[in-house]
Amino acid sequence: MNVDLARYADLLDLLASLPERVPSLQVVVVNGSAVTGGWDEHSDLDVEAWCSGDAATTYDAVLALVRQELGVDHVWELPEATWPTGRQCFVHLQPDAADLSRPTLLLDLVIQTTPDRLTMDTRRHGTPMVLHDPAGLLVLEDDDEAELAGQREQAVAQTAARRQTAAWLVERAIARGDLAEATALHLRFALEPLVRLLRIQHCPARHDFGLRYLRTDLPAGMAERVEALLPGPDLVVRTRAAFAWQDEVLAQLT
């Protein structure tokens, strides 16, 4: 896949030099939409790295260099508990990221401690752009299929078992005029489980990717059909249609 990363040239140059300056770095890759599809002028650059020793120490060193070398506007650091073995942050290289009148410049950086065996499933995450891996630690192989199949089976079973309770919750909130609650319940119990079922049916390796990447992961026209069920003024019609579609897919899967 060929994508134009020219606007991130300074950042890519810095990333290439990082292992010399932060020797604990063992593997550095670009992943995300740059390798899975959907890359455009408003995509951030997803970078994942693995290191020896304490990931927080390496993360602090890398972030300090990014701040020193690049025009950083601000950084959102996720809570330390987000990753059991690492840290993540979003580095904004310009102010007001929501201003889409210009190309986006934003780094999504994750740094973790290198596990005993480092693998990546290309069905789920695409083929990464490897910037640094001199020891060949990163192995491209599918995740455990039995584990994925178990997760899918549980999702189907739970959706089927919850079906009537879920519809009652949404319909009750609508009948009571509790629009905010009804909207949240519609998304949680009608739309999101429907998309999970569609993913299990059409892109099982990415069954848990939620509402993202629908145009690339589902058959042509299906994303638009899902979007027609997003909350609107006729929510009762949309929620009944979503549950009816759930019934249709459940019948096919079970």
Listing DSSP states for the chain in one string gives: -----GGGHHHHHHHHHHHHHSTTEEEEEEETHHHHS---TT--EEEEEEESS-HHHHHHHHHHHHHHHS---EEEEPPGGGSTTEEEEEEESSS-TT-TTS---EEEEEEEEPPSSEEE-HHHH---EEEE-TT--EEE----HHHHHHHHHHHHHHHHHHHHHHHHHHHHHHHTT-HHHHHHHIIIIIIHHHHHHHHHHH-GGGTT-TTTTHHHHS-TTHHHHHHTTSS-TTHHHHHHHHHHHHHHHHHHH-
| Model pLDDT, residue 254 | 85
Measured between alpha carbons, how far is 91 from 66 in angstroms, rounded to an integer? 9
| Model pLDDT, residue 250 | 97
| Model pLDDT, residue 74 | 96
Average pLDDT taken over every residue of the chain: 96
Residues of the chain with pLDDT under 50: none
Residue type, 78: L
| Model pLDDT, residue 37 | 84
| Model pLDDT, residue 59 | 98
| Model pLDDT, residue 42 | 96
Q: What angle do CA 214, 157, 159 make, to 5 degrees?
A: 50
pTM strictly above 0.85: yes
Residue 207 neighbours by CB distance under 10 Å: 23
